[in-house]
Structure 1
Amino acid sequence: MSRPARPASATARRAPEAQVPGSSDGHGIADALVVRLVGAAPAGTDDAAERGVDPDVYRQVFRRHAAGVTVVTLEGVSGPVGFTATSVASLSLEPPLISLSVASTSSSWPALLVADTVVVHLLSDRQRDTAHRFATKGVDRFAPPTRWTRLPTGEPLLVDAEAWVRARLEHRVATGDHRLLVARVLQAHTGDDVTPLIYHDGRYGTFTESDTE
């Protein structure tokens, strides 16, 4: 009589992690994810869940996530380019890296594709108009009342920003319907300690410290 098969161990059931080769163009755009989990789905997995969440539910969940507001500027072929972004994050201290994501359909993407450097401005609560302006389509975002100049290295700089970093774009990775960008910080500036501008549930606001712990 044959022995019944033993159930697979937790280690055996875990999908292995593998490196997935992918080509890239001259600007570092990867056409495949660098790392992917491979292997069959665990027994009993709901097929509907494996197909992904409903887009509307996904948006509703992340509308609850408060994020700092920035304006990213760079030099384009025809002049300065800028846009409002809430996806900027500190990625690494050594080396100093930041990340941000941009929709593949963004009007700023062609400039980001070929740019060498960007300037990320961390907005304060008093710069809500700036955030609105750089998120509005079809306007000259650098026209008055926007006050800007150029750094000695040529990048456009918003002169009213109390905190900003200049960074070199090092990686551009295709991720779903967005592009993930990783940049190395070359220069950093901070001025007065001001209240930050925060985006939450489709609205701008700021942070108020609680008296209770």
Structure 2
Amino acid sequence: MSATAKTIAYDTLASGILTLDLVPGADLDEARLCAEYGLSRTPMREVLRQLAGEGYVTLRQNRGAQVSEMSHTSLRAFFMAAPMVYSAILQLAATHRTASQLTALQTAQDVFCNALNGGTAADRALANIQFHRVTGDMADNPYLSPSFNRLLLDHARISMTFYRPGDPAQAENVDLARAQHDAIIAAITDRDAARAGAIAEDHWQLSRHQIEQFVMPGALDVPLGTAV
């Protein structure tokens, strides 16, 4: 039961952080979390350490855990690193992918398409991040993986902040994202690393404008990390 409770705690906290149910900078009360998930302090701290290692939370000495911040400084670094890392991941994915991973990627794309058709913004963000996580698994690079996973985390949180389903331009971008996911699958299936890398750069451009607005204080029209 303890292992199951730990898994539930990890999954729920990670999902809540990705979808902004737990906002950047929020304090996490260890005692309350223990009571909520039926865990003692030791396994709860193990969950928090795992989340900290993956960039979801920050562990502060004598002050407990906090949901990782999204400052303008860190997101400028995100903006610089993201296109390079995404491209490298997809090129390696095309080189190293396995048949079972291709099946997992297509399954993730099916879930993503279903989320686009009738899911919430949170469903869409979680399905999108799972699609890209599969490409990270395919890449199988211990140096890139931690950076890629942190990029996916903050990319999801930015998407939740700015996603407005009624915006015609964003609806068009969503349709293009779906088509680009299909193109990514095709390039990886063909083991065409150069094409996969080029598609990664095109895919990045879909959200580049919104991220530029997010990291430039003069362009902000919503508080940092506030879902709309």
- TM bucket normalised to smaller: under 0.3
Larger Cα-atom Rg: 1
Structure number with higher relative contact order (C-alpha < 8 Å, ≥ 6 residues apart): 2
Q: TM-score, normalised on structure 1?
A: 0.25
Higher strand share: 1
